[in-house]
Structure 1
Amino acid sequence: MLAPQEFTVGSFATATPSSLILPRSASEFPMLVGHIDGILAGAILSEQYAFECIEGDPSGNWAGLIIPDVRVEVDETSVFAADHIAGAPGTMIRSDTRLLLRVKRDRSQVSERAITLHEELPPTDDRRAGFQHWQIVIGEGVEKRVLWKTQQ
């Protein structure tokens, strides 16, 4: 459950990076928000459109419950050497000072890119780590709640 102060209602265009958007109806989709080169970008999390990328959305068509400042936790047992393997859409990548999510530009799965979810993390050296399994959480300790997780 969410406390009233933990969310707002709005469009993708009003969300901030590190937000999770949850649907209010069957025509809306869950989305994790970050940015690509400073432009607001989101990854759709529904199975039907899994990890398709939305950028900008000046129309305001994408909307729902907006939960800001969510955290991503990676499953360390699903790690792989991302400097040798790109990883499929939906893979989290820890690189330099960022946490990235691999996404599809469109439904073709041919054109891929990465959304920056978190920046200013402690720097890594020139190696990258990828994670196949991860989850989105809010709160900490006994107050921690999992809002979404990859299928394992």
Structure 2
Amino acid sequence: MAGFLDNVQWPACLDLGEKRNTVASVAAGVLFFSGWWVIIDAAVLYPSQEQLNHAFHTCGVFSTIAFFMVNAVSNGQVRGDVYGEGCLGRTGARLWLFLGLMLMFASLIAATWILFGAFVVVPSRLVYPGLSIFFQNLLIFFSTLIYKFGRTEDLWG
């Protein structure tokens, strides 16, 4: 699935060639940074527990852990193309990737639940802290997908 857009005919101005890995890495880094920037901005603007519950930050922490879990496994390990099988081989790499993606989806679903359950439904609360939690997890989710599946091959291999 790493090259699922390889057969699509892109316009000549979008042909990245050898710079595809660099562009994907920079785009993922900007999205990851933007996600944390949004939540830090909300935490600074709304420091009290009543405005932004500090327990809601766990979604972003688990999303970040999932980012590292998903990107710790190379595409070659998932496909079984590498020479060093490691501890569990291709099955272990696929299981680790699956758990990372499940943790990522769970964080995004939890952030959506927090947005609607704690901020949108209650009319007296401001919506921006809930939106910041949701957009943090959404941006980290997209950065994970771009970094994992937007590259042609591993950066160092």
- Shorter-chain TM-score: which interval? under 0.3
User: TM-score, normalised on structure 2?
Assistant: 0.21
The structure that is helix-richer by fraction is: 2
More strand by share: 1
